Amino acid sequence: MKLLLTILVSAAILASCGKKDEVNTTDSQKKDSISQKKSETTIKTDTSGKNNSTGGIKNISYELGKLPASVKYDGKIVAGARWEDKNGQNVLIVCETDMKSSGDNRSKELFAYQYILNGDEAKQLWKVNDFIKDCPVDVMLSLIPKSITVTDINKDGVAENTFIYRMSCKGDVSPDDMKLIMHEGENKYAIRGSMLMIMGGEKYGGEMKPDPAFDKGPAGFFAYAREEWKKFETEKVGE
């Protein structure tokens, strides 16, 4: 009887020890699993944080933030971009004036600038000015939303910036003119033409005239500009 009791007690102790080991192993696996998940989350976060650079161009932002007082411009800022490249800190600004009326005539202007910033100092790299003046009918002169891009197509460490706008002075339903402006430093490239208007199943406009500067520009510039042009050229009317 004593021998049987001793055997039963020993078996209970061994069974108890086995359960504790299983619990410890499970806790350890859970901790390892949690640790692994945290590590994976951190890696994903770090990777997603790198989407604000293109090639050698860093810290691209389409939010201008506060600008130094030395940055001068006409009209009201409607959009822009910031980035860093071989030239240093860069800022692109696109501005529009309010519509001005004189009798039955209307006028409006669009401005664009690129500045290189050095602390509170700003050096103007280029300026673009387009306008419609003394138009007796309807006036359109406006940046196309989301058309500003900052790239480094030729991977030389100097960014290209591109924007597109539309303009017209008309009293009928017809396509607006459209212009794409690209700069790499002080070098300017442009496409001029008209929007592709689709109305009643018919197509109107859609002309595209690349600037000869593209012929002498780096490989890939015109292909990219044409792709951006096609992205924004179509306007459907009456649908």
CB distance 173 to 199 below 8 Å: yes
Cα(103)–Cα(121) distance, integer angstroms: 42
| 3-class DSSP state of 221 | helix
pLDDT at 96 over 90: yes
Q: What are phi and psi of 219, to 5 degrees?
A: -60, 135
pLDDT in tens, 43-68: 222 222 333 557 679 999 999 999 99
pLDDT at 114 over 60: yes
Q: What is the pTM of this model?
A: 0.77
pLDDT at 99 over 50: yes
Question: If pLDDT is split at 50, 70 and 90, which confidence band does 238 have?
Answer: confident
pLDDT in tens, 180-219: 999 999 999 999 999 999 999 999 999 999 999 999 999 9
CA dihedral 13, 18, 19, 20 (to 10 degrees): 90
Cα(132)–Cα(5) distance, integer angstroms: 106
pLDDT in tens, 150-184: 999 999 999 999 999 999 999 999 999 999 999 99
